[in-house]
Amino acid sequence: MGANHQRWERPGSCDGPRRAGSAWSDRSVCPLPTLPRLAGEGFDHQGVVHGGSTRQALTSGSAHPLAYNAGPFVRDRNSVKSQLRALIEPLVAQAIAALRDTGTLPADFATPAFTVERPKDRSHGDASTNAAMLLAKPAKSNPRAIAQALVDALPVNDSIASVEIAGPGFLNFRLTATAWRDQLVAVHTQGDAFGRNDSGASQTAGVEYVSANPTGPLHVGHGRAAVIGDCIARVLDANGWHVKREFYYNDAGVQIENLARSTQARAKGFKPGDAQWPADAYNGDYIGDVARAYLDGATVEVDGQTVAGVDDADDLDAIRRFAVAWLRREQNEDLAAFGVGFDVYFLESSLYADGKVEETVRELVAHGHTYEEGGALWLRSTDYGDDKDRVMRKSDGTYTYFVPDVAYHLSKWQRGYTRAITELGADHHGSLARVHAGLQALDAGIPQGWPEYVLHQMVTVMRGGEEVKLSKRAGSYLTLRDLIDEAGRDATRWFLVARKPDSQLVFDIDLARSQSLDNPVYYVQLSHARICGLLRKLGDAGLAFDLQSGLAQVPDMADVALRDVLIDLSRWPEIVAAAGAQLEPHLIATYLLELAQGFQTYYNDHQFLVDDADVRDARLALATAVRQVLRNGLTLLGVQAPEMM
């Protein structure tokens, strides 16, 4: 990578004559490279691995990484096996074995864990390995000399056009051009399935998200939780998992009691500020809506059950049931408008009604992981990494809030969730260690680190350069419905998921609504629509598009814009794999913007509706492959892929 390099050409490789005006040239065939280049990652010219985004779509505040945005299934990106690595690693390993056979390396020398990376600078080749630098010491040679020995020992492979020695001893591989042509064939052949894999082997993954208390309208933070959780579920499905989407209703406890008493006060004609108004009441206008509907005898259908109001402001139990049902229905409607749905709705109250909380406590006691002190029952959570032991049952006989959480997650394990992911706000960080401790103390065979947690940071909404904080109806916060109504569903989903969850997010309503190339979701959707428009113009011009002709031609890899688009297309399957393994759907949004930007550069430099049929077919084959991948990616984000804008 860089200057001062040597080059090895595979026998028989050539650039081939390019026909005048042609978009392609003749080269040899090789497998398709598909390694994710996460934004800004790779070796620099000195071989230093570093990260950082090269193209930023949104702004976000800095945030320290949250310890629980990780888990037993999270891997570094090198653990995602790509076709590129699958091609090159065996060749390098064979070359190392040959050096052992010749005595260049000790006979008992084990093959080191060398890396295969995409160079950050694409002009340095398609892949690079640091193997020579790991071999220099055991070979008692300098890295460039051992690099040359490796090159000489590499088996001839029709997929490799050349190998260069660069810098202190990197081997930079260049692939044959026909491989990139075959990438387009793969995209067109697989269509909607391109990028999907079966790594999950149809095992069950439960994804819990939103899980808001049914005490008021959903706020913007719930919206971020909703889209992150929904996109994680979509990405896991694309990675072959059988996904169960789950909403946990906290319908028990003091907040529900506050809701009931707030609604009762409204039903009796009181309002915030009155002497009779409860101290911990909910003050939003929506409480008045609930109270009026209750007194009018309205009926609410939610999750197959019907709850009716009555003209009785003294029946607190009836008010409680009605208010919870009313707000659950409203939350469901808001989530449906946001394109978010669930397979399972789990009520916290059912854990008490079914005796699951008491059963969980008995199991913990029976396994000897509790003790009594000061009239309370304690969990020895420090035995499992918590910073102190935790009270489970208070001296008044009531349970602390983490105990039903342990019982709830135990139910997930019993329901066969191989993988359980819970998406929460970062303010829940402190409770996670005690839930993990409780699950481990059950001695039920639950793996350490199960469930996995994804924690999101706060959202700041801006309009006209000023923060938007309040909603009259909610009283103290901006609702998700308000944001969707202002920015639109697609833009709201994109902006809330396009940043890593543990990054604080600034949501600029003006940018989200703008029809400009500064708006990332507009940019990506416009790219999709523009390609659809090319095909419409094709018919208007009386021209034809022969896809098979386009796919039969081999790309001219000297065309930098074309090369960049082909490389970006090749990255898509590993972006999907990485997003699933790391539970980071924002990687999808970052990738789509990069693909759209790369195609825009190509679009600006090339005419598509030209008279030369071969050129036209080849360029449209590329464009429609980009359209397919854009659509596949937008689907994973739950964002529309419009044909016209």
Q: Looking at residue 546, which CATH number applies to its domain? A: 1.10.730.10
In this predicted structure, the answer to whether residue 210 has a pLDDT above a threshold of 70 is yes
Q: Tell whether 108 is covered by a domain.
A: yes
Contact, 151 vs 528, CB < 8 A?
no
pLDDT more than 90, % of the chain: 78
Query: Does residue 462 lie in a domain region?
Result: no
pLDDT tens per residue, range 466-510: 998 766 566 668 899 999 999 999 999 999 999 999 999 999 999
pLDDT digits (tens, 9 = 90+) for 43-82: 333 332 222 322 223 333 332 222 334 343 333 333 335 6
Boundary residue ending a domain (151, 179, 207): 179
Q: Which domain holds residue 597?
A: 516-637
Domain boundary among 149, 179, 209: 179
Q: What is the pTM of this model?
A: 0.84
Query: Max CA-CA distance within the chain?
Result: 94
Predicted local distance difference test score (pLDDT) of residue 24: 35
CATH number where 149 lies:
3.30.1360.70
Q: What is d(CA 220, CA 217) in angstroms, rounded to the nearest whole number? A: 10
pLDDT in tens, 290-306: 999 999 999 999 888 89
Would residue 162 count as lying in a domain? yes
* Burial class of residue 582 (count of CB atoms within 10 Å of its CB; 0-12, 13-18, 19+): buried
pLDDT of residue 431: 83
In a domain, 544, yes or no: yes
Task: Report residue 20's pLDDT band, with 50, 70 and 90 as the boundaries.
Answer: very low
Give 235-283 pLDDT, tens digit per residue: 999 999 999 999 999 888 789 999 999 999 999 999 999 999 999 999 9
Distance from CA of residue 1 to its chain's centroid? Answer: 31
Distance CA 348, CA 337 (A): 25
| Contact (CB, 8 A) for 568 and 531 | no
pLDDT value at position 477?
80
Q: Is residue 96 part of a domain?
A: yes
DSSP output for 596-630 = HHHHHHHHHH--SS-S-HHHHHHHHHHHHHHHHHH
Domain limit, last residue, from 179, 212, 247: 179
Angle (CA) 581-585-589 rounded to 5° is: 135
Query: Over the chain, what is the mean pLDDT?
Result: 86
> Considering its fold, how many domains does the chain have in total?
2
Is the pLDDT at 38 greater than 90? The verdict is no
Closest CA to 51 of 500, 463, 481: 500
Judge whether 644 lies within some domain: no
- Domain membership flag for residue 20: yes
| pLDDT tens digits for range 426-445 | 988 878 999 999 999 999 99
Selected residue with higher pLDDT from 52 and 603: 603
Q: Is residue 475 part of a domain?
A: no
HEC letters along 80-112: CCCHHHHHHHHHHHHHHHHHHHHCCCCCCCCCC
pLDDT value at position 429?
Answer: 83
Nearest 5°: the CA angle 384, 390, 394 is 150
